[in-house]
Every structure is written in C-alpha cells, then in structure tokens.
Amino acid sequence: MAITPIPAFNDNYLWLLDNGVDAIVVDPGDAAPVDAYLKSNNLNLAAILITHHHGDHIGGVPRLKQMYGCRTYGPSNDSVNGLDYRLDQGDSITIEELGLSFQVIDVPGHTRGHIAYFMPESSLCTNGLFCGDTLFSGGCGRLFEGTPQQMWQSMQKILSLPENTKIYPAHEYTLSNLKFASEVEPQNQHLTHYIEKVKALRELNQPSLPSELSVEKQVNPFLRIREPSVISSAMHRVSRDTLSEPEVFAVIRQWKDSF
C-alpha cells in the first residue's frame, strides 16, 4: 500500500493511499493535483475522507466526485455538504476496493466537528492516523471553533493510540512548530536531534511527514502537558504556582498563537 503526500497550495499535503489500482484521498482541498496524480498513475479514485470543513480541505471534493463518482465520508458535526456518509466517534468504515478499514475519532478543537481516521495495522499497512489540522508534527491546530479543554481531550485520545502509529497531518508546519517547542523546552535533547533531521529533509525539499506518535511524545509540547519541563514553562509564562493539565494546555496554545 503506497501512501503519498500530494503537495497543494503553500503547505498542504493531500494524502493519497493506493494499491496500484484504486485510491483514497484525504482532505483534497484542490482537485487538480489529485486528478493529475491519479491519471499519471492510472488509478481510480474510490473514496474521499474528510476531516473538517475548511476550504483547503474540501475545495476539490465536488470536482473529484463528479469526475470519478467516488464515495465521500466526513464528520457529521461539521459544515460539510454533499457527504455520502456522515461519521461520528466510534464509527468504522471499510473501503473495500483497497481492503482498508478506518476507525473514526472525534477530535474537536480546531473545528467543533473535526474527526480523525485511525487505520489499524494489517497485512496491508502499519498503524496510521490521518488527523487533518488537529495534530501536527511538533504542534497542534489553532482553536478556531473549539475550546482548549476540547483540544486537550482530543490530544488524550491521540496519546492512547499505539506508539508506532504513523502521523499524517495536512500541513508542512514542522520546522516552525519545532522552533516554538524549543522555546517551551530549551533543554529537550530529543527536540535538538529532531530539528536537525527535519532541516536536512526540508533542505532536500522532502516532506518532514509522516511523523510517528513515539517521536511526537518526545518533541511535541501539546502531547507533553504532563512533563515537568512543560508545566514549569507554562507556570512561568503566566506567573502561576499551580496549573491543571487543561490549563497548562491552554497556556501553551495561547503562547503559540502569539509566537
């Protein structure tokens, strides 16, 4: 099973999964690069998976559906029109053409109805999470509609997934996220090494993604809210002696917004 990031706009990745015959695309904000890839590789588009309603994630859906007659899956609680299947926490879907199954996880925060698709390990693939704009490598999405409490709870759901889960975010934000993470945890040696690795990839114009959950647990401050170093930075930021975990998350998120 091939999983390919198709670049779009300034920094989007439209993740395309294919078995050499049929394909799935996640969050196709632009139809043109997806159609070009499908045609150049002689692939049929079987399904579109949507994580949330923002235009850079759904803009290409109508055209692709018209061209390929593919099925569309997306969140029941987000403003996405024309879906064939509306999904909620705990739902499972199978794309028969590729033999792939996905478990739906509600991850509100970036938008109220944002969902992610967890692809369990099988003979065809490793564990994978297509998380839209909820989790990035080294960061998380801005809170356009949800609350810090909601996004913190969404992070807890992601933390419960297997350590070897590959993380497939929708944007190449890694270096800027890691710059901020280094402000939060300047002594984190895992961060130092990861930054060098990502810089080397980007200098070659290679994607920094996918990441892996085991790595994100070492470098991503939004998944490290329980770490003493992150708690200390948050308390220092707001001159407080105690903070709950959701409060630590809220402080770090607000800090990132103004970074």
* Binding site residue list for Zn(2+): 52, 54, 56-57, 110, 133, 171
210: preceding bond cis by omega (within 30 degrees): yes
- Binding positions: 52, 54, 56-57, 110, 133, 171
CA–CA separation, 129 and 107 (whole Å): 12
Q: Which two tokens stand for residue 36?
A: 């070009």
In contact, 205 and 199? CB cutoff 8 Å: no
Residue 49, by phi and psi: left (phi above 0), alpha (psi -120 to 50) or beta? beta
In contact, 103 and 162? CB cutoff 8 Å: no
CA–CA separation, 256 and 259 (whole Å): 5
